A and B are shown apart, each in its own frame.
Chain A
Amino acid sequence: MGLSGTAAIVGMAEWKPERRPPGHRGLSIEQWGALAKAALADAGIDPREVDGICTGGIRESASFVPSTVAEYLGMAVNFAEFVDLGGATAAGMVWRAAAAIELGIANVVLCVTPSSPGPTAPGQVPVVNLGYGASSDRFGSPQAEFDIPYGNVAQNCGYALIAQRYAHTYGYDPLALAKIAVDQRTNACATPDAIFYGQPITAEDVLNSPMIADPIHLLEIVMPVAGGAAVVVASADVARRAKHRPVWVSGFGEHVAFKTPTYAEDLMQTPIGPASDQAFAMAGIARREVDMISVYDCYTITVLMTLEDAGFCAKGEGARFIRSHDLTYRGDFPTNTHGGQLSFGQAGLAGGMSHVLDGARQIMRRAPAQVADCNTAFVSGNGGIMSEQVALILRGE
Chain B
Amino acid sequence: MPDRPLPIPTPTSQPYWDALRQHRLVLQYSPSTGQWVYYPRNLAPGTLADDLEWREVTGTGVVYTFTIADRPTAPAWQGASPQLIAVVELDEGPKMTTELVGVAPDAIRIGMRVRAVFDDVTGSEVTLLRFRPTSGASR
Chain A interfacial positions (CB closer than 8 Å to B): 128-132, 137, 139-140, 142, 144-154, 156-157, 160-165, 168, 210-214, 260-263, 267
Q: A151-B69, A161-B85, A164-B67 are in contact. List 13 more A-B contacts (CB 8 A).
A: A131-B73, A145-B8, A145-B9, A146-B39, A149-B4, A149-B6, A151-B77, A152-B85, A154-B73, A164-B110, A210-B71, A213-B71, A262-B95
Q: Does B66 contact A (CB under 8 A)?
A: yes
Contacts of A139 in B (CB 8 A): 8, 10
Q: A157-B73, A164-B65, A211-B70 are in contact. Are A145 and B97 (CB under 8 A)?
A: no
Q: Does B102 contact A (CB under 8 A)?
A: no
Interface hits, B81-110 → A, CB 8 Å = 83, 85-87, 95-99, 110
Set B2, B7, B68: member contacting A145, Cβ < 8 A: B7
**When the two chains form their complex, are residues A161 and B83 in contact, meaning their CB atoms are under 8 A apart?**
no
Q: A157-B85, A260-B97 are in contact. Are A213 and B8 (CB under 8 A)?
A: no
B82 closest partner in A (C-beta):
A214
Q: A137-B5, A262-B97 are in contact. Are A210 and B70 (CB under 8 A)?
A: yes
Chain B interfacial positions (CB closer than 8 Å to A): 2, 4-10, 13, 38-39, 64-77, 80, 83, 85-87, 95-99, 110-111, 126, 128, 130
Contacts of A162 in B (CB 8 A): 65
Q: A147-B97, A211-B70 are in contact. Are A267 and B65 (CB under 8 A)?
A: yes
Q: A147-B97, A151-B77 are in contact. Are A156 and B69 (CB under 8 A)?
A: yes
B129: shortest Cβ distance to chain A, in Å? 9
Give the distance in Å from the alpha carbon of A129 to the alpha carbon of B76 in the complex. Answer: 11
Interface CB pairs A-B, < 8 A, 8: A131-B73, A145-B13, A147-B97, A149-B4, A149-B5, A149-B7, A150-B98, A213-B69
**When the two chains form their complex, are residues B87 and A144 in contact, meaning their CB atoms are under 8 A apart?**
no
Contacts of B39 in A (CB 8 A): 142, 145-146, 263
Set A132, A137, A146, A213: member contacting B70, Cβ < 8 A: A213
B98 closest partner in A (C-beta):
A150
Contacts of A164 in B (CB 8 A): 65-67, 110
**When the two chains form their complex, are residues B67 and A148 in contact, meaning their CB atoms are under 8 A apart?**
no
Contacts of A165 in B (CB 8 A): 64-65, 110
**When the two chains form their complex, are residues A263 and B128 in contact, meaning their CB atoms are under 8 A apart?**
no
Give the distance in Å from the alpha carbon of A213 to the alpha carbon of B71 in the complex. Answer: 7
Set B68, B97, B126: member contacting A152, Cβ < 8 A: B97
Give the distance in Å from the alpha carbon of A210 to the alpha carbon of B97 in the complex. Answer: 25
Give the distance in Å from the alpha carbon of A149 to the alpha carbon of B6 in the complex. Answer: 5
**When the two chains form their complex, are residues B80 and A212 in contact, meaning their CB atoms are under 8 A apart?**
no
**When the two chains form their complex, are residues B8 and A150 in contact, meaning their CB atoms are under 8 A apart?**
no
A146 closest partner in B (C-beta):
B39
Give the distance in Å from the alpha carbon of A290 to the alpha carbon of B117 in the complex. Answer: 51
Give the distance in Å from the alpha carbon of A164 to the alpha carbon of B64 in the complex. Answer: 9
Q: A145-B8, A157-B73 are in contact. Are A214 and B67 (CB under 8 A)?
A: yes
**When the two chains form their complex, are residues B85 and A150 in contact, meaning their CB atoms are under 8 A apart?**
yes
Set B2, B6, B72, B87: member contacting A261, Cβ < 8 A: B87
Give the distance in Å from the alpha carbon of A153 to the alpha carbon of B72 in the complex. Answer: 10
Contacts of A131 in B (CB 8 A): 72-76
Nearest 10 pairs of A and B residues by beta carbon? A160-B67, A131-B74, A165-B65, A168-B110, A214-B68, A145-B7, A147-B97, A146-B39, A262-B97, A152-B97
Give the distance in Å from the alpha carbon of A149 to the alpha carbon of B8 in the complex. Answer: 10
**When the two chains form their complex, are residues B66 and A161 in contact, meaning their CB atoms are under 8 A apart?**
yes
Identify the interface centre among B2, B67, B126: most chain A CB within 10 Å of its CB: B67
Give the distance in Å from the alpha carbon of A153 to the alpha carbon of B85 in the complex. Answer: 10
A372: shortest Cβ distance to chain B, in Å? 41
A160 closest partner in B (C-beta):
B67
**When the two chains form their complex, are residues A161 and B65 in contact, meaning their CB atoms are under 8 A apart?**
yes
A145 closest partner in B (C-beta):
B7
Give the distance in Å from the alpha carbon of A264 to the alpha carbon of B2 in the complex. Answer: 30
B78: shortest Cβ distance to chain A, in Å? 10
Contacts of A145 in B (CB 8 A): 7-10, 13, 39
Contacts of A154 in B (CB 8 A): 73-74
Give the distance in Å from the alpha carbon of A228 to the alpha carbon of B48 in the complex. Answer: 41
